[in-house]
Structure 1
């Protein structure tokens, strides 16, 4: 199982994020403690994650999916967010 960082820019004014959020939640175990950033553990490849999310965004939007190495550092996150990262990275 890999851990992915997913981040995006939805560029259409008034963009509805619900479709994208629901698509991300279906990929696997997720973390969403920063506005345009999710971390998801999944059995999918990075390309499969991208392909599963593409229908939920517009042609002028941007989407980035990268594998995380398991090493990280952060500050300013609440205890729940920090605990998830410690247990899942």
Structure 2
């Protein structure tokens, strides 16, 4: 889990590992940030592109798909980006996700 700061404010939260439970930030400010990837909680690991798209479509969450040099990215209007890489012969798998504020 990585935090990117700009002028003493969090600009982006990045995770190279998917967790299915809410992240606990602890401390007095814990109630201000909650990240719970519930949309993908029913997907079998590793999460592939088809499973992620199916979960987003079931919940009527719009996304924009974009090809990159590394693979594919799904950008959601919430500011969340799901990055997929071709890590196996099975196709694209979720490699990282991040949120820009």
Question: Does the alignment reach a TM-score above 0.5?
Answer: no
Higher strand share: 2
Higher helix share: 1
Q: Rg bigger for which structure?
A: 2
TM-score by length of 1: 0.33
TM-score by length of 2: 0.31
Which structure has more relative contact order (CA 8 Å, sep 6+)? It is 1
